[in-house]
Amino acid sequence: MTLPPSRSIKQPPRNGLCPAAGGAPWGGGGRRPLRGGAMFDWMAWTLPVAVFFTCIVLMLVGMTVWEVKSPTTERRGFLPIATTRGDRLFIGLLSAAYLNLAFVALSGRMVEWFGLEQEPSIWFSFVASMALLGWIMRKG
């Protein structure tokens, strides 16, 4: 069934929403969608990043095993709330992430402030953030 010309549905203008070069309907300048090993190509996989994510996975596995073997109870430390091990891990991971972000944000300025030849290594931030996480887990 076709509509008469006076009742045809007008298509809105595409305004640049045509397929990308090469005819790929998903855009991206002809790039293929993420498949297989290309899933993490967008991320800069350096040794510190791989160590960071490996540590998080190992912590989560360790905390799961620990929780199954010995269920946690709430306790109070220096944090203003009663927390379980999982709560302290979450708070510690957030604190470690903020410390790393602050280090990355200030590392360029550290060159100027301290007269360094190059930006300080990210390993300093990693060690400091893991120490902070350990302190929160133990005393928090």
Residue 67 covered by a domain: yes
CA distance 14 to 25: 13
pLDDT at site 1: 58
Number of domains comprising the chain: 1
Return the H-helix or E-strand segment holding 54.
helix 47-69
Cα–Cα–Cα angle for 30, 36, 42, rounded to 5 degrees:
60
Q: Which domain holds residue 51?
A: 42-139
Residue 1 covered by a domain: no
For 87-105, what is the HEC assignment? Answer: HHHHHHHHHHHHHHHHHHH
Residue 23 covered by a domain: no
Residue 63 covered by a domain: yes
Residue 27 covered by a domain: no
Helix (H, G, I), strand (E, B) or coil at 109: helix
Residue 6 covered by a domain: no
| pLDDT at residue 2 tops 50 | yes
* Rounded percentage of the chain residues whose pLDDT exceeds 70: 70
Residue 46 covered by a domain: yes
> Could you tell me the pTM of the whole model?
0.61
The two three-digit tokens of residue 22, written as one number: 């090469």
Residue 8 covered by a domain: no
pLDDT tens figures, 96-127: 989 988 998 888 888 889 888 888 888 898 89
DSSP letter (8 states) at residue 66: H
pLDDT at site 38: 64
